[in-house]
Each structure stands twice: as C-alpha cells, then as structure tokens.
Amino acid sequence: MAGIVPLDIKAKGVFGKFLLTTINNDIKFGSKIFKWADYETRLDPHNIHPADNISITYDKHKPSGEEIEIYTDGSKINDQVGAAIVVFYYNAEIFNRTIRLSDFATVYQAEVTGIQMALEFISTIGPWNKINLYTDSLSVLEALNTFKTSKQEILAIKNDILEMSKEKSITLHWIPAHTGIQGNETADSYAKKATTKPYIEKIPKKPFKQLKNAISNVQIQIWQERWASSTTKNGRHTEKLIPTVSIHTKKFSHFIAQFLSGHGRFPAYFVRFGRSLNIKCPCGAVGDTLHYVENCPFTEKYAKKLIYDKDNLSTILNREENLGLLHSIYQEVNNLVPQV
C-alpha cells in the first residue's frame, strides 16, 4: 500500500549501482548481470580542470543558403533508432549519411550521433571560410553550451569543435523542427529511413537512466518473489488482496486499511495479540477480517452489494463502488466491536 521497496532490497540496489558506476565493477543483482562497460561513463565535473570547462555557443539564425550548411537529426520509430546528416552547398545537396543505432538507444543519443557525424564530415574537408551546422535538438545544444558536463561524448564533441575551429569557421544553430526548412526536413527523412536499415551500425553506451530503471525493475522482481513466498499469517491475508507489489502508492481510508492489513477492531486480532480471550463476533462466528465481508449479519446490508470473484479476493478492489462499501463495512465493525 505504501509503495516502498523493502529497505534491505533498496540498499542492495543502491550499493550495486555504486559498484557499477563508481568502482567500475560488474555486478549480479537478483538473476541479472550488469556489466559496467555497457553503460555511459559519468564524469565528475569537479575533476576537470577549469581551463577545460568550455562552452560551445549557438544561435537561432535561420539558414541563408550560402556556403556549406549541415543538418543533423535523430529519430526513433517502432523502437528502432536512427541518425542522419545531410550537407548542402549553396542549397544543393552534396552529401548524406545515415546510421542505425541499437534499439535501446534514446533519441538524445541519436541527436548526439548526428552531431558526431557532422564533425566527422567536417574533418574530411580542408580549411573552410564558413560552415553552418543546424539541429533541432535544443537539449544537445544546451549540453554543449553548458561549461560543466558529466557526459563523456559531450566533452569529446566540445574538444573536437574547439580543435577544428583553429582552421575552420564552425557555427552551431538551433532551428525548430517541422517548420518547412528544407535541410531540416531532408535530415528528418533520412533519420527516419535510418531506423529501417536491416543492421545496427552503432552500439552506444546505455544511458545511466536505463541502469536506474533496470535496477529498479530487479528490486521489484525480488520484492515480488519475497511477497509471493512469505509464510507469515497476516502477510498471506494481505497478499490475497494485493498479490502484486508496486512502487506506486495506493491510498485507502483508515477502515479499508484495516481490511487489507488484518489489523483492526476484530475479535480474532485482539486474541492473536493477547488483548482478549473472546474470538467471537457478537453474531457468534469467529470474528476475523473476512468474516465481515463474507457472512456477518451485522454487515450483510453492505457486504451483499459487493461485486467480485469469490475465488479471487483481489478483484474486490477493482471496482470503485466496492471501496465505498468496504469503508462502510469496517466502519460498522468499529461501532460493533468494543475496543479493548
């Protein structure tokens, strides 16, 4: 109900992530093996000399159609990822290149790949008076514009641009997507085609966010296995009602929480914890949690309206109207059974 992963499972996940990303150790967590070399290297900006913290500026000028203009784009369609560049010289297309990335790659990684391809092209031409590089990825441009970075690829791009700028004039521009700019539309078309290529040409490092998600999924898997195999009496009652664990908090009223946990003003609960010797409900039956849902005459007026699969108790929580009825049932129980 609280949506909180058990502390020991959470701690193992945090420690495993530390070993992987800081110590560069492969880890086994649950049944899954994580290899540190598969994931992005995170730089500590504080370990980079201030002189190496550079900013690559950009502007929002529209294409002029003069000199060399390079357009880059990235795309993800049907869980397949592609990147592309297209080069124009006085509005005439002279070069294009496409790359398909691993399916796990993000659009951001595809956009970064597009910039890398553009720089590779620029490195093949001699000194040039003016080269304009256009992208609709504001996130990549902002990463390049920020002095400090924790991403290895962004730092490498910054250094490449700085080095090439010694003999070439390179200017970065942001352009809005899908606004009819010929070069941008052409790059977008090539990037989409790249996603359909039959083979993968680039396997980037998996983003750190994917590592966090993968470890979180394993934590939930371990938690679920523990929950399903628990042998505690009260845990079995709650497991029947909530068979699947979740990190999403479920809010229930105080009275419904008594029904779910088995902790409430029930004669059987009082006997279990030595608070009473009388296990009977005022109706004469054993006063446990489910009694008031299944066969107590004092709560029958509400219980008979409940709609659920009698062979699958968890379905009782699927209908909104059942929640109101359960609230009324256990509110009635609190009035019926004296506190001890």
pLDDT digits (tens, 9 = 90+) for 38-95: 998 877 777 777 777 889 999 999 999 999 999 999 999 999 999 999 999 999 999 9
- Give tens-digit pLDDT for 132-172: 999 999 999 999 999 888 888 999 999 999 999 999 999 99
Pick the residue with more confidence: 199 or 237? Answer: 199
Query: Residue 155 corresponds to which tokens in the numbers above?
Result: 């730092």
State what percent of residues in the chain have pLDDT above 70: 98
* Residue limits of CATH 3.30.420.10 in the chain: 50-195
Nearest one of 10, 158, 4, 187 to 87, comparing CA atoms: 187
* CATH superfamily of the domain spanning 50-195: Ribonuclease H-like superfamily/Ribonuclease H (3.30.420.10)
pLDDT of amino acid 229: 86
Given a contact cutoff of 8 angstroms between Cβ atoms, the answer to whether 85 and 189 are in contact is no
Pairwise CA distance, residues 39 & 37, whole Å? 6
Pairwise CA distance, residues 167 & 170, whole Å? 9
Most confident residue range from 123-132, 136-145, 227-236: 136-145
**Average pLDDT value over all residues in the chain:** 92
Residue 340: which pLDDT band, with cuts at 50, 70 and 90?
A: low
CA angle, 169 then 182 then 88, to 5°:
40
Distances (CA, A) of 84 to 101, 111, 116, 139: 11, 9, 10, 17
Region 98-123: mean pLDDT is 97
pLDDT of amino acid 160: 96
Q: β-strand 32-34 against 168-174: which pairing, if any? A: unpaired
Pairwise CA distance, residues 234 & 242, whole Å? 12
Q: Please tell me the least confidently modeled range out of 1-10, 205-214, 327-336.
A: 1-10
Pairwise CA distance, residues 150 & 45, whole Å? 6
Q: β-strand 80-89 against 92-101: which pairing, if any? A: antiparallel
Pairwise CA distance, residues 55 & 144, whole Å? 6
Residue 339: which pLDDT band, with cuts at 50, 70 and 90?
A: confident
Region 276-281: mean pLDDT is 92
Pairwise CA distance, residues 101 & 189, whole Å? 16
Amino acid at 222: I
pLDDT of amino acid 235: 63
Pairwise CA distance, residues 94 & 211, whole Å? 40
**234 pLDDT exceeds 60?**
no
Region 118-128: mean pLDDT is 91
Region 306-314: mean pLDDT is 92
**230 pLDDT exceeds 70?**
yes
Q: Which residues of 29-39 are buried (b: 16+ CB within 10 A; e: fewer)?
A: bbeeebebeeb
Amino acid at 92: A
**Rounded to two decimals, what is the model's pTM?**
0.75
Pairwise CA distance, residues 13 & 222, whole Å? 11
pLDDT of amino acid 50: 76
Region 243-257: mean pLDDT is 85
**C-alpha count within 13 angstroms, C-beta hemisphere, residue 33:** 3
**131 pLDDT exceeds 90?**
yes
